[in-house]
Structure 1
Amino acid sequence: MESNQYDVIIAGGGPAGTTAATLLAQYGHSVLLIERDEHPRFHIGESMLPMSEPVMKRLGIDWANGNLKKGGAEFIDEVSGRRTYFPFQGEYRTFQVERSVFDKRLFDNALAHGVIAHQQELVSSVQCTANEAQVKTDKGLYQGRYFIDATGRDALMGKTFKSINKINNLGKFALYKHYKLANSLESEALFAHGNIKVLLSDIGWIWCIPLTNGRLSVGLVVQKEVPESLKQDALFERYIQASLYMSELLQGAEVLSEVHIEADFSYRNTQRYGQRFACCGDAAGFLDPVFSSGFFFAVKTAEFVADQLHQGLMQGTEADPELQQVGDEFYQKGFKTMHRLIERFYCSNLVENLFFESDRQLKIKQEIVALLAGDLWKEENGFQQGLLSGRSRKN
Structure 2
Amino acid sequence: MSRTESVDVVVVGGGPAGATAGSLLAKAGHTVLILERETFPRYHIGESMVSGMAPLMEELGLVEELDARFRPKSGITLRWGRDPEPWRSDFSAAFSATGSHFTHAWHVTRSEFDELMLDNARKLGAMVHEAAQVTKVLQDETGRVTGVAYTQDGETHQVTARFVVDASGQGRLLTRQLTETSWQEDLRNVAVWTYFDSYTPIEDKDDILVEAIQGGGWVWGIPLSETKLSMGYVLPAEMLAEQTRGGRTQRDVFLDCLKDSHVAKKMVDVAALGDLSTTRDWSHVCDTFHGPGWAAVGDAAAFIDPLFSSGVWLGTSGAWLAARALDAALKDEGREEQVLERFDSLYRQLFKDILAYVRFFMDPTRLREEYEERAREIGNMVTQSSRVGFVSMISGVSAVADVVDFDPMSAEEVEGVMQEWDEQAAASQEAGEGDEERSLAQEAHAS
Match of residue 45 from structure 2:
44
Match of residue 265 from structure 2:
247
Greater mean alpha carbon deviation, residues 140-149 or residues 156-165: 156-165
Q: State the secondary structure of the residue aligned to 1:143.
A: strand
Q: Is the 8 A contact 1:75 1:198 kept in 2?
A: yes
Q: Is the 8 A contact 1:78 1:243 kept in 2?
A: no
Give per-residue Cα distances to partners, 1:74-121, cap 9 Å, x unaligned.
Answer: 111599632221110123231111111111000111111121111111
Match of residue 106 from structure 1:
117
Q: Aligned pair in 2 of structure 1 residues 260, 125: CA closer, same or farther (>3 Å)?
A: same
Match of residue 304 from structure 1:
321
Greater mean alpha carbon deviation, residues 95-104 or residues 83-92: 83-92
The answer for unaligned runs of 5 or more in structure 1 is 381-395
- The answer as to 2:347 corresponding to 1:331 is yes
How many Å apart are 1:367 and its aligned residue?
Answer: 1.1
Q: Aligned pair in 2 of structure 1 residues 247, 59: CA closer, same or farther (>3 Å)?
A: same
Give per-residue Cα distances to partners, 1:218-268, cap 9 Å, x unaligned.
Answer: 01010362334132122112212332433332128855x621111152000
Give per-residue Cα distances to partners, 1:122-151, cap 9 Å, x unaligned.
Answer: 112213446761201133111111100000
How many Å apart are 1:356 and its aligned residue?
Answer: 8.3
Greater mean alpha carbon deviation, residues 168-177 or residues 37-46: 168-177
Q: How does 1:215-234 map to 2 (within 5 A)?
A: 215-223=228-236, 225=239, 226-229=242-245, 230-234=248-252
Q: How does 1:123-162 map to 2 (within 5 A)?
A: 123-129=134-140, 133-138=146-151, 139-162=156-179
Greater mean alpha carbon deviation, residues 221-230 or residues 110-119: 221-230
Structure with max Cα Rg? 2
Q: Aligned pair in 2 of structure 1 residues 212, 253: CA closer, same or farther (>3 Å)?
A: farther
Q: State the secondary structure of the residue aligned to 1:147.
A: strand
Q: Aligned pair in 2 of structure 1 residues 349, 171: CA closer, same or farther (>3 Å)?
A: farther
Q: State the secondary structure of the residue aligned to 1:51.
A: helix
- The answer as to 2:300 corresponding to 1:283 is yes
Match of residue 4 from structure 1:
5
Q: Is the 8 A contact 2:372 2:386 kept in 1?
A: no
Q: State the secondary structure of the residue aligned to 2:187.
A: coil
How many Å apart are 1:198 and its aligned residue?
Answer: 0.7
Between the aligned partners of 2:321 and 2:136, the Cα distance in structure 1 is: 24
Give per-residue Cα distances to partners, 1:276-308, cap 9 Å, x unaligned.
Answer: 100001111000000111010111000000011
Between the aligned partners of 1:176 and 1:313, the Cα distance in structure 2 is: 43
Q: Is the 8 A contact 2:49 2:312 kept in 1?
A: yes
1:19 alignment partner AA: T
Greater mean alpha carbon deviation, residues 82-91 or residues 276-285: 82-91
Between the aligned partners of 2:80 and 2:25, the Cα distance in structure 1 is: 45
Q: How does 1:66-81 map to 2 (within 5 A)?
A: 66-77=69-80, 81=84
Greater mean alpha carbon deviation, residues 48-57 or residues 320-329: 320-329
Between the aligned partners of 2:271 and 2:121, the Cα distance in structure 1 is: 37
- The RMSD of aligned alpha carbons is 2.7
Match of residue 211 from structure 1:
224
Greater mean alpha carbon deviation, residues 259-268 or residues 270-279: 259-268
Q: When the two structures are aligned, how many residues end up with a matched partner?
A: 371
Greater mean alpha carbon deviation, residues 17-26 or residues 166-175: 166-175
Match of residue 87 from structure 1:
90
Give per-residue Cα distances to partners, 1:293-327, cap 9 Å, x unaligned.
Answer: 10101110000000110111112347x34441112
Q: State the secondary structure of the residue aligned to 1:60.
A: coil
Between the aligned partners of 1:231 and 1:300, the Cα distance in structure 2 is: 38
Normalised to the residue count of structure 1, the TM-score between the two structures is: 0.86
2:327 alignment partner AA: H
Match of residue 354 from structure 1:
370
Give per-residue Cα distances to partners, 1:178-217, cap 9 Å, x unaligned.
Answer: 11115xxx33x56x63101111112110001111252111
2:24 alignment partner AA: L
How many Å apart are 1:271 and its aligned residue?
Answer: 2.2
1:134 alignment partner AA: G
Between the aligned partners of 2:87 and 2:373, the Cα distance in structure 1 is: 8
- The answer as to 2:68 corresponding to 1:55 is no
Greater mean alpha carbon deviation, residues 335-344 or residues 62-71: 62-71
Match of residue 195 from structure 1:
207
Between the aligned partners of 1:167 and 1:357, the Cα distance in structure 2 is: 24
The answer for unaligned runs of 5 or more in structure 2 is 375-383, 403-447
Q: Aligned pair in 2 of structure 1 residues 378, 214: CA closer, same or farther (>3 Å)?
A: closer
Between the aligned partners of 1:378 and 1:100, the Cα distance in structure 2 is: 26
Q: Aligned pair in 2 of structure 1 residues 168, 37: CA closer, same or farther (>3 Å)?
A: same
Q: State the secondary structure of the residue aligned to 1:64.
A: helix
Fraction of identical pairs, as percent: 26
Q: State the secondary structure of the residue aligned to 1:44.
A: coil
